[in-house]
Amino acid sequence: GQNIDQPTEMTATEGAIVQINCTYQTSGFNGLFWYQQHAGEAPTFLSYNVLDGLEEKGRFSSFLSRSKGYSYLLLKELQMKDSASYLCAVDGGSYIPTFGRGTSLIVHP
Amino acid sequence: ETGVTQTPRHLVMGMTNKKSLKCEQHLGHNAMYWYKQSAKKPLELMFVYSLEERVENNSVPSRFSPECPNSSHLFLHLHTLQPEDSALYLCASSQVRAGADTQYFGPGTRLTVL
């Protein structure tokens, strides 16, 4: 089976930095995705990691350690519009990703 | 129109009704997916059509029936649903290749079963 774990909810202040962690146990590994989902909207793709290390894309960065079964999404210079749910999804070898429950991020002034 | 579209956006139905959800992708992808998203639960994969083969989650009840007439269109036929089937139903598409595929989601259909 596959297990993906991420915190249920986080809060942060506008302008700050927040790190959302994701741990996983899967039988195989083809890559890890992060998606953003605003309330009432569809998930949208943020990042994809398949090799260890940090991938930076503007204010958002994603890190992967395959040996530790661990990833994080780093959001810098937080804005109010970053309030959303952040979904970690892992392709455990089937080419179809399994999603975690999502982390609801609340950004306050 | 671009991306992945879904109709209707909202649907209210009784337990004895029959309805269908429609999804269309304009991205030239070769795989399409149905997901169920309930409050406080992970996205639950229901069905996948990839390279004209169907893969399904064996835990999905038979009252949900998918249809994929071509690589751009996907339907989810609903009949004799239960109130616990109320959820957001998301369609997604991707381009299958060697390695993991990024999925592009439609806006979803918010289903309420009375």
Alpha helix stretches (DSSP H) within B19-66? none
Residue B78: per-residue pLDDT: 96
For residue A30, give every residue at least 6 positions away whose Cβ sits within 8 Å of its Cβ, in sequence order, or none.
Answer: A50, A91, A92, A93, A95, B99, B100
Q: Can you give the pLDDT at residue A1?
A: 62
Shortest alpha-carbon distance between residue A10 and chain B (Å) = 15
Which of the four pLDDT bands, split at 50, 70 and 90, describes residue A96? Answer: confident
Burial of B49 (0-12, 13-18, 19+ CB in 10 A): buried
* Contact between A42 and B106 using a beta-carbon 8 Å cutoff: yes
Closest CA of chain A from B42, distance in Å:
4
Which helix (DSSP H) or strand (DSSP E) does residue A75 occupy? Answer: strand A70-75
What does the pLDDT average to over A28-36?
A: 92
How far off is chain B from A27, nearest CA to CA, in Å? 15
What does the pLDDT read at residue B100? 66
Cβ-defined contact of B100 to A31 (cutoff 8 Å): yes
Task: In whole angstroms, give the CA distance from residue B102 to residue A103.
Answer: 20
Q: How far is A87 from chain B, CA to nearest CA, in Å?
A: 9
Choose the closest CB to A42 out of B42, B50, B107.
B107
* Buried-exposed string A80-91: b where 16+ CB fall within 10 A, e elsewhere: eebbbbbbbbbb
A52 burial type by CB count under 10 A (0-12 exposed, 13-18 middle, 19+ buried): exposed
The pLDDT score that the predictor gives to residue A30 is: 87
User: For residue A93, is pLDDT > 80?
Assistant: no
Beta carbons of B88 and B37 less than 8 angstroms apart: yes
pLDDT score at A76: 97
- Low-confidence winner among A14-18, A34-38, A52-56, B13-17 (lowest mean pLDDT): B13-17
**Is the peptide bond prior to B8 cis by the omega test (within 30 degrees of 0)?**
yes
Q: What is the pLDDT of residue A40?
A: 84
Structure-block tokens of residue B18: 């029959």
pLDDT digits (tens, 9 = 90+) for B51-109: 767 777 778 999 999 999 998 999 999 999 999 999 999 999 998 776 667 899 999 99
Residues in chain A closer than 8 A to B96 (CB atoms): 95
Q: Which two structure tokens, joined as six digits, stand for B70?
A: 């071509």
Lowest average pLDDT, out of A6-15, A32-41, B39-48, goes to B39-48
Closest to A44 in 3D by CA, of A32, A31, A35, A53: A35
Residue B1 confidence (pLDDT) above 60: no
Unique residue bearing structure tokens 């999925």? B103
Place of tokens 């004209």: B52
Confidence band for A28, pLDDT divided at 50, 70 and 90: confident
Report the residue from A45, A101, A102 with minimal CB separation from B102: A45
Q: What is the pLDDT of residues A44-87, one digit of tens each?
A: 999 999 999 999 989 999 999 999 999 999 999 999 999 999 99
Task: Note whether A45 contacts B108, CB cutoff 8 Å.
Answer: no
Residues of B in contact with A4 (CB under 8 A): 42
Q: What is the pLDDT of residue B51?
A: 73
Is residue A72 within 8 A of residue A19, CB to CB? The reply is: yes
A2 vs A40 pLDDT, higher one: A40
